[in-house]
């Protein structure tokens, strides 16, 4: 096994809390030097301080291309980062009758266009530095389930999965791998304080195994996919949801 990430430079977007924070912890524990990028800069800094191991927290709005480009250049120091985890997103709970164009555009911007912005810059930098880096996108099993009260979110996550496949094709020739993970309902900081918290009973009934998904359950799979152990995997989408969806 070579799940070690010793000496790798990683950026995790939306890592101030929840699943992103657990991913930052797992990558740091595997030896990576982690930058936590979040619109909540204070949260990013305190998460980085608690993780230690050289982790750093920075303020960055993933929808703002100029901020993202500067954040990635700062993180790269000697040319490029090795690992980009596109995790930042809004997890809305909004009945279909309340979905308007403004909501739709905000979710597509935050949950899909942000993935393009960071991936464009990071893969260009990896290519220029001759670095065989990797991009890991956090999608959702809501794409497969068509989960209620999240129509724009489900559409954005479908876009993330499509883009994962297309970008893998485009950058494979440079040795850059691009994969995605689709978590099921997970007890993250955001979900805990949202109406989604009421769905655990129903979702557990659909899962093959009982229990509430935890951020660390997702992070372990991410740590594997960005490691050399997954060196022959690209363009893939790995479902992590206790078997709620049996693909």
Which residues from 12-51 bind ligand 4PL, rule CB under 6 A?
Answer: none
Helices (H), 129-196: 142-145, 151-171, 189-192
71, 115, 119, 153: the active-site residue: 153
- List 87, 114, 134, 141, residue binding ligand 4PL (CB under 6 A): 141
- If binding is defined by CB under 6 A, does position 39 make contact with ligand NAD? yes
- If binding is defined by CB under 6 A, does position 62 make contact with ligand NAD? yes
Q: Which does 16 bind (CB under 5 to 8 A by kind): ligand 4PL, ligand NAD, none?
A: ligand NAD
Specify the stretch interacting with ligand NAD by CB under 6 A; choose among 36-44, 69-77, 100-108, 161-169: 36-44
- List 5, 12, 18, 133, residue binding ligand NAD (CB under 6 A): 18
CA distances from 6 to 27, 61, 196 (A): 9, 28, 37
Cα gap 118→73, rounded to integer Å: 11
- List 26, 55, 145, 156, residue binding ligand 4PL (CB under 6 A): 145
- List 11, 17, 92, 238, residue binding ligand NAD (CB under 6 A): 17
Closest separation between CB of residue 138 and ligand NAD, Å? 4
Whether the Cβ atoms of residue 136 and residue 86 lie closer than 8 Å to each other = yes
Verify whether residue 174 is a known catalytic residue: no
Q: What residue has token string 């997890």?
A: 91
CB atoms near residue 190 (< 10 Å) = 18
- If binding is defined by CB under 6 A, does position 207 make contact with ligand NAD? no
| Sheet (strand 177-183) strand order | 56-59, 33-38, 9-13, 83-86, 134-138, 177-183, 237-240
Q: Which does 136 bind (CB under 5 to 8 A by kind): ligand 4PL, ligand NAD, none?
A: none
Whether the Cβ atoms of residue 140 and residue 97 lie closer than 8 Å to each other = no
Q: How many CA atoms lie within 13 A of 45 on its CB side?
A: 6
- If binding is defined by CB under 6 A, does position 14 make contact with ligand NAD? yes
Q: Which of 14, 64, 54 is nearest to 31 (CA)?
A: 54
Measured from the CB atom, is 4 or 67 closer to ligand NAD? 67
Measured from the CB atom, is 51 or 153 closer to ligand 4PL? 153
Q: Which does 46 bind (CB under 5 to 8 A by kind): ligand NAD, ligand 4PL, none?
A: none
């Amino acid at each position: 096994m070579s799940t070690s990430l010793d000496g790798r430079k990683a950026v995790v977007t939306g890592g101030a809390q929840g699943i992103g924070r657990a991913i930052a912890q797992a990558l740091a524990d595997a030896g990576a030097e982690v930058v936590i990028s979040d619109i909540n800069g204070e949260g990013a800094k305190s998460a980085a301080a608690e993780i230690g191991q050289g982790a750093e927290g920075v303020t960055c709005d993933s929808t703002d291309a100029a901020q993202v480009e500067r954040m990635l250049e700062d993180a790269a120091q000697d040319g490029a980062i090795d690992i980009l985890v596109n995790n930042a997103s809004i997890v809305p709970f909004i009945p279909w009758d309340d979905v308007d164009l403004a909501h739709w555009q905000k979710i597509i911007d935050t949950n899909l266009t942000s993935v393009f912005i960071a991936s464009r810059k990071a893969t260009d930098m990896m290519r220029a530095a001759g670095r065989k880096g990797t991009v890991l996108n956090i999608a959702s099993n809501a794409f497969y389930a068509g989960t209620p009260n999240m129509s724009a979110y489900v559409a954005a996550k479908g876009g993330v999965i499509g883009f994962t496949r297309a970008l893998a094709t485009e950058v494979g020739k440079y040795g850059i791998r691009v994969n995605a993970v689709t978590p099921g309902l997970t007890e993250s900081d955001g979900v805990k304080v949202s109406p989604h918290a009421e769905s655990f009973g129903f979702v557990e009934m659909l899962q093959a195994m009982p229990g509430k998904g935890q951020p660390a359950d997702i992070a372990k799979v991410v740590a594997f996919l960005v490691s050399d152990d997954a060196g022959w995997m690209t363009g893939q989408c790995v479902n992590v949801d206790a078997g709620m969806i049996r693909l």
